[in-house]
């Protein structure tokens, strides 16, 4: 039995949901999102809550049960609060700035890195060494953050690079004479 799958997804105030077959549509103050569930689960709208139940007792049905419930919960959270990732740049001369719809990163390379921000994601730079990524889709926000971080991952000797806020980088000692 899935502990996550058993819980119904309560819809916050101001959020409406519609279930047609395997497609779940959720509308809220930030916009609308849809998700299509697999055939192994049943999605039912019960007034103010959405419940997910497996159609059989197969391993695949039980796997999809909890995952589908999590996806529906992420839809509800995305259209109300949204998702947010914060990155910080650590290193001498490392800085970030928005140039129109693009993010300009100075990361110690011979050239500046221009990162084009996809639709549906909002990127801001409150300080030169901070990047805030916000959006309705948790997967898209996480992917944008990972792609930005990939340009200069934190290294273990001096800790320089792009890291998530509150991320701990295990430090190594380095060479001894």
Q: pLDDT tens for residues 1-24? A: 678 888 999 998 889 999 998 999
Give pLDDT, residue 174. 86
What is d(CA 4, CA 48) in angstroms, rounded to the nearest whole number? 18
pLDDT interval class at 131 (50, 70, 90): very high
β strands within 9-57, DSSP E: 9-10, 16-20, 23-28, 31-36, 41-46, 49-54
What is d(CA 11, CA 14) in angstroms, rounded to the nearest whole number? 8
Q: pLDDT tens for residues 69-125? A: 999 999 999 999 999 999 999 999 999 999 999 999 999 999 999 999 999 999 999
> Which of 120, 124, 117 lies closest to 144 in space, CA to CA?
117
**Are 53 and 42 within 8 A, CB to CB?**
yes
110 and 41 within one domain: no
92 and 46 within one domain: no
65 and 91 within one domain: no
What is d(CA 150, CA 90) in angstroms, rounded to the nearest whole number? 14
CATH code of the domain covering residue 128: 3.90.930.12
Q: Is the pLDDT of residue 128 over 90?
A: yes
- Taking residues 46-57, what's their average pLDDT? 90
Q: pLDDT tens for residues 28-44? A: 999 999 999 999 999 99
Q: How far apart are the first and last CA of the chain?
A: 58
**What is each CA distance from 46 to 1, 10, 151, in whole angstroms?**
21, 10, 46
Q: What is the CA radius of gyration of the chain?
A: 21
Question: Could you tell me the two tokens for 170?
Answer: 């295990």
Give pLDDT, residue 3. 83
96 and 146 within one domain: yes
104 and 55 within one domain: no
> 3-class DSSP state for residue 71?
helix
Enter the pTM of the model: 0.86
Alpha helices by DSSP H, 46-90: 59-80
Question: Could you tell me the two tokens for 74?
Answer: 């992420």
Report the number of distinct structural domains present in the chain. Answer: 2
59: domain range? 3-80
Domain-embedded: residue 171: no
């Amino acid at each position: 039995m899935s502990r996550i799958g058993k819980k119904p997804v309560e819809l916050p105030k101001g959020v409406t949901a519609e279930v047609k077959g395997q497609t779940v549509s959720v509308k809220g103050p930030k916009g609308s999102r849809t998700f299509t569930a697999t055939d192994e689960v049943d999605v039912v709208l019960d007034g103010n809550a959405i419940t997910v139940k497996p159609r059989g007792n197969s391993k695949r049905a039980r796997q999809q049960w909890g995952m589908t419930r999590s996806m529906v919960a992420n839809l509800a959270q995305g259209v109300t609060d949204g998702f947010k990732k914060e990155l910080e740049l650590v290193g001498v001369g490392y800085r970030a700035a928005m140039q129109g719809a693009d993010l300009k990163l100075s990361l110690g390379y011979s050239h500046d890195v221009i990162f084009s921000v996809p639709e549906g994601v909002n990127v801001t730079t409150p300080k030169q060494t901070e990047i805030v990524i916000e959006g309705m889709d948790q997967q898209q926000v996480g992917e944008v953050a990972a792609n930005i971080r990939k340009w200069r991952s934190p290294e273990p000797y001096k800790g320089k690079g792009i890291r998530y806020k509150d991320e701990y980088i295990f430090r190594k000692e380095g060479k001894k004479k």
